[in-house]
Amino acid sequence: MMPDNFVSPQVEINEALVTSALLGRGLPSEAERHLWEAGLSYHLDDIAEHHLREAEALAPGHAAVLIGLYRFYFYKGRLAEALDVARRCLLKAAQENGLPADWRCVRADDAEFGGYEDILARFFLFSLKGYAYLQMRLGQTEEGRIAVQKLLDLDPTDKIGAKVLLGVLDRMGQDDE
């Protein structure tokens, strides 16, 4: 299990992804309004979640909606629900990138993972990073390690900081000094 005082190293899906025209394309204006309202009512859990669910009903599977749900559950500490959404983000990112549905089967040459400019490839990497981190936090350290290793295979220059997660895994169980 992850230490309670461990601060997530940028595991939230990057803000640029949320605002990207590429990931936001095709979002109905009413769904966008609900995402906006969810953000404004973030401190009111039931109301914010209601708006997120309304956005999801209007745009099921849309990347912007999935990212909103992920971030809501993540920051509210509802990690099992965030993990479910991270899995959905991975599937969406795989679909958008033309990748295998199983992230374990993705190869480094399947997309421009090394080019940070490719927003769809970044969406996949950040989704996998969130998935890895949540697995670690929920005590599934071996699954988290496998996902981190996949991140490093896809992004050997480690532009998204997967080595930080690997370092945490390697230090787990050791006495703090």
Structural domain contains residue 87? yes
Structural domain contains residue 40? yes
Count up the domains in the chain and report the number: 1
Structural domain contains residue 131? yes
pLDDT tens track for 81-91? 999 999 999 99
pLDDT tens track for 16-67? 444 454 455 678 899 999 999 999 999 999 999 999 999 999 999 999 999 9
Note down the domain range covering 119: 15-171
Structural domain contains residue 60? yes
* Nearest alpha-carbon partner for 128 in 160, 172, 166: 160
Cβ neighbours of 96 (radius 10 Å): 17
Each residue of 72-93: b (16+ CB within 10 Å) or e? bbbeeeebebbbebbebbbbbb
Give the per-residue pLDDT at 5. Answer: 41
3-state helix, strand, coil in the chain (%, to 5): 65, 0, 35
Q: What is the CATH number of the domain that holds 118?
A: 1.25.40.10
